[in-house]
Amino acid sequence: MTISRHQDEDGQPAVHRVPLPRGAVPHVRTGSQVRPDQVLASRREVGDPVRISLTRPLARHPFEISELLLVTPGARLDPDQPIARGPDGREVRSPGHAIFLTYSEADGSALLVLLGAESPVIGHVHGTVLQVTRGFISVAVPGARLEGVGGMGDAVHGELVVAVHTHDEELRAGAIDVSAAGKILIGGSRASAETLTRARAMGVAGIVLGGILDKELRDFSAIQRRRREIGGMTGAFAVVLLEGFGKVALDAQLFSWLRAHAGRMASLFGDEHLLYVHEAASPPLRTLMAEIGDRVVIHRRPFQGRSGVLVGVLDDLHDTPSGIPAVTGVVRLEDGRLAPIPLVNLEATIAPSRH
């Protein structure tokens, strides 16, 4: 996990990019203040294809029509916009908002794809619009941004709620009830596919976990995909992992920080593995090169997810149990045991007060 403090070293807030699909019309400008549920842009969904005969209205043979077309393939058409015009002034017009695709010389018809009603593009973050381009809207977010190592799902926002008692507790299906609807839950070390399915059914917006078994995440993703394919699935849902795959506890320091921010508005981006906690204090900072005395989190089995203090670095390369020689640090685990761990498998975690 990588964490950017709400104000980085340059004093700049975290910047989030809201991608705009092609054809989207922005409704905000640079400098606008936006809310998580605000519509930042709108676009028309692609609808059904239709074929329109051009030969009959223009009274021409199919091979004569090409020269009479007023639009090129791929053009966007407004309602009543002329598609083709004969020498006598007769016209064929678009039946509505549409995209002109092709003209068939075989039957003299034009293939159009109708565009449906406008649908909103929601940013799911709050902050100040920095830039509006054809491809994205960037928003400066006053809060903490946490980058996870995995996840799935949509962009969602909701109130942050802690659903487990300890950082290494598994999030059980029974811990989720209807009061969690619309919330972003902080789980612990794992959630089963059953728990995720129940959370989805209960209307939970998203779940933040230390780890999850890849198999269970894949199973859940497959269920979601199938439900989407057969239709009837409503509402968005996201899962983000902060530490790793498998049963991996959230770092205790980070868990405490998240618990301290329960009740704040948060935004979760499943596919991008991002969590924003709005109006939040600095979270524990992670750095990849640990130094002696740092509190560290271990990232490979058998100690994955466990934390301790780096008490020394061995002078020479040390063989790991796999036989790979590596620069190795000695970590005093929280239970007092010492473990030699390659430095590359460690991440230092620095409390906010020491930033």
Residues binding other proteins (CB under 8 A) = 19, 21-23, 45-49, 72-76, 99-102, 104, 106, 111, 113, 134-135, 149-150, 213-215, 218, 244-246, 288-289, 299-304, 319-326, 341-342, 344-345
Q: How far is the CB of 310 from other proteins (least distance, A)?
A: 15
Q: How far is the CB of 301 from other proteins (least distance, A)?
A: 6
- Residue 14 CA to residue 9 CA, distance in Å, equals 11
Q: How far is the CB of 209 from other proteins (least distance, A)?
A: 13
Q: How far is the CB of 288 from other proteins (least distance, A)?
A: 5
- First vs last C-alpha separation in the chain: 17
Nearer to other proteins, 116 or 263 (CB): 116
Q: How far is the CB of 239 from other proteins (least distance, A)?
A: 13
Q: How far is the CB of 262 from other proteins (least distance, A)?
A: 26
Which residues neighbour 316 within 8 Å (Cβ) at sequence distance 6 or greater?
Answer: none
Q: How far is the CB of 188 from other proteins (least distance, A)?
A: 17
